[in-house]
């Protein structure tokens, strides 16, 4: 159907949970968008119900959804697609006293031999640091959610920046 399978999990009480994503450059009947729409999930659900019935797969409930703003990165193709994005990486083994890192994803090299790098800043040091890693060393990697409220009542970027600074200073990070 032209969608990418991101995750497929079996849950409690017969739940089969499927997460799909749109493939860049593919034209979809539900219209242009960079993200999965409800209509996409409906189409995939209908198709999966038919296929699962024909294949005799046992499940009680089927849930098809988008991978969300914090989309997991599992395959090398995911890392290539989201090069330049901010990601959270949790390593399998402790490296320099920690397992969790947040930074900008970069590929060093081209093709299947490309290695993965994370450009990050440590809280103590203002200089950029580079963490080289392989897929085998990663326990979990996810995109850092980017929420953009442009056009939702803000008059300019300065008003948005001021609101963000106020939220950072406010205990609990929200207005009353």
Provide the residue-wise pLDDT of the chain in tens; the chain has 176 residues.
899 999 999 999 999 999 999 998 888 888 888 889 999 999 999 999 999 999 999 999 999 999 999 999 999 999 999 999 999 999 999 998 899 999 999 998 876 677 899 999 877 667 888 999 999 999 999 999 988 777 555 444 444 444 444 444 444 444 43
Q: Is 54 exposed, middle or buried (0-12, 13-18, 19+ CB in 10 A)?
A: exposed
pLDDT at 163: 43
pLDDT at 11: 93
In a domain, 70, yes or no: no
- What's the pLDDT score for residue 21? 95
User: What domain range is 31 assigned to?
Assistant: 3-65
pLDDT (0 to 100) of residue 151? 59
How far apart CA 143 and CA 86 sit, in angstroms, is 6
Residue 147 has a pLDDT of: 84
Domain boundary pick from 14, 32, 65: 65
* 149 belongs to a structural domain: no
Dist. CA 72–CA 65, nearest whole Å: 13
Q: Is 17 left (phi over 0), alpha (psi -120 to 50) or beta?
A: beta
Same domain, 93 and 36: no
Boundary-marking domain end, from 23, 38, 65? 65
Residues 6+ apart with CB under 8 A from 127: 121
pTM given for the model: 0.76
Structural domain total, the chain = 2
What the block records as the tokens of 129 is 């640091």
Identify whether residues 41 and 83 lie together within a single domain. Answer: no
Same domain? For 53 and 90 the reply is no
108: closest CA among 72, 132, 127?
Answer: 132
Find, among 14, 1, 29, the residue nearest to 63 by Cα.
14
What is the domain-level CATH number for residue 100?
2.30.30.100
86 three-state secondary structure? strand
Q: What is the pLDDT of residue 152?
A: 59
Give yes or no: residues 60 and 98 share one domain: no
């Amino acid at each position: 159907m032209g969608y990418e399978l991101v995750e497929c999990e079996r849950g409690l009480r017969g739940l089969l949970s499927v997460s799909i994503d749109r493939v860049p450059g593919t034209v979809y009947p539900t219209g242009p968008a960079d993200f999965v729409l409800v209509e996409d999930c409906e189409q995939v659900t209908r198709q999966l119900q038919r296929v699962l019935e024909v294949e005799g797969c046992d499940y009680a409930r089927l849930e098809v959804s988008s991978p969300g703003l914090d989309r997991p990165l599992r395959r090398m193709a995911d890392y290539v697609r989201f090069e330049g994005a901010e990601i959270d990486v949790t390593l399998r083994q402790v490296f320099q006293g920690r397992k969790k890192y947040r930074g900008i994803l970069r590929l060093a090299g081209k093709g299947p031999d490309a290695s993965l790098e994370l450009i990050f800043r440590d809280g103590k040091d203002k200089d950029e640091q580079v963490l080289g890693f392989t897929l085998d060393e990663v326990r979990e990697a996810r995109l850092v959610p980017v929420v953009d409220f442009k056009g939702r009542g803000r008059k300019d970027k300065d008003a948005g920046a001021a609101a963000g600074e106020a939220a950072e200073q406010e205990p609990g990070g929200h207005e009353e």
